[in-house]
Amino acid sequence: MNPVTAGTARVKTIREYVEAGTLSLDDLKGALQLAMRLEFSTIPPYLCAQWSVKRDPDRVEGVVHEVVSQEMSHFALAGNLLAAIGGRPSIGHADFVPDYPIDELPGGIPQELPVDLKPLRKDQLAVFMQIETPEFPPVAFRADRTPATIGAFYDTIIMTFQTLCPEIDPEAHAVDLPSSHRIENVADAIEVIDRIKSEGEGVQDSPDQPSGEERGSFAHYYLFKELWLQKRLVKVGGKWSFSGAHIDLPDVYDFRHSLAEPNPSAEFNRTFSQLLIDLESCWTSGAPPNVAAMFQLQILGRDLIKRGIRPEFRWDDGTS
């Protein structure tokens, strides 16, 4: 059974991929499918936080929007990489969707603070910082072993591309992204993975000193830490410091899981599930992304949150 195409097959952990070193072609495909699951798992929590924003004097919603947009790009880029080496991204099924709250990210990355769908408050920002923490690593992992980090996982994928030099199909179906070009060779593939690492969780910086010289190059952890500390990150004496202008956190809508019948999230869940099915077809048949469905999901999600109801992000393809 192929783990890339079968949703019920056993999925290897990030630790297993890292300890294997250079991967086989099949394991490289499995690792990229896992990368899709990993990147996707952050999107529903970030979207719920963004959609919860009400009064926003310091434009905090824009920061969360920037992060979630990049996570969506990372998810799509991992799919493009998988398709380019002859794999088939598999996302249009129930097994792909996390059941929040979760206490570990896909691939077996444990989280001390459960990852759930909540409003944008300081406690949720602490969860987001935990997800995105650079590779020092941050969290109280299991004491009996050192964890394999997300950064090490992506380094393993880079090393495999360098060593294995898999055949790249430049005509493979892909999701077109405005800030990315088509993957035509191994160098392009490595460039894509480096981008995912530098923008997201895989960087090797300290918790207080990002490696970027300009604000536009900050990884997600530092963007969230600014909000959590409510202080802008500024250069002081040649070093970065969380000592800039005060940030007012927004007023937010509170929301909770609803047990009402009929399920108020039913239409949202069906739209969400169909969106995943449509996205999978971008890689399997070259269909364009269903942008209208993306906007519809946002409208439905914001409406639920304004009514105090948590969007569920659960699988419902209408067959059950």
What b/e readout covers 3-13, taking b as 16+ CB neighbours within 10 angstroms? bbeeeeeebbb
Q: Which amino acid is at 224?
A: F
175: tokens are 């999701």
- Any idea where the domains of the chain sit in the sequence? 14-253
Q: What CA–CA distance (Å, rounded) separates 293 from 274?
A: 8
The C-alpha angle with vertex 219 and arms to 11 and 305, in degrees rounded to 5, equals: 75
In order of 87, 278, 285, 291, the CA distances from 282 in angstroms are 13, 7, 6, 12
How much is the pLDDT for 207?
A: 67
Q: What CA–CA distance (Å, rounded) separates 40 from 55?
A: 28
The C-alpha angle with vertex 292 and arms to 290 and 295, in degrees rounded to 5, equals: 115
235: tokens are 């250069």
**Dihedral pair phi/psi, residue 142, rounded to 5°:** -55, 130
DSSP-H helix ranges across the chain: 14-20, 25-41, 43-51, 60-84, 122-132, 150-164, 186-199, 220-229, 266-284, 291-306
Short-list 214, 222, 168, CA closest to 191: 168
> The dihedral of CA 29, 30, 34, 40: what is its sign?
positive
Superfamily of domain 14-253, CATH level 4: Ferritin, core subunit, four-helix bundle (1.20.1260.10)
pLDDT in tens, the chain (320 residues): 343 443 445 679 999 999 998 999 999 999 999 999 999 999 999 999 999 999 999 999 999 999 999 999 999 999 999 999 999 999 999 999 999 999 999 999 999 999 999 999 999 999 999 998 876 544 333 344 455 788 889 999 999 999 999 999 999 999 999 888 899 999 999 999 999 988 875 455 566 777 655 556 688 989 999 999 999 999 888 888 999 999 999 999 999 999 999 999 999 999 999 999 999 999 999 999 999 999 999 999 999 999 999 999 999 987 75
How much is the pLDDT for 65?
A: 96
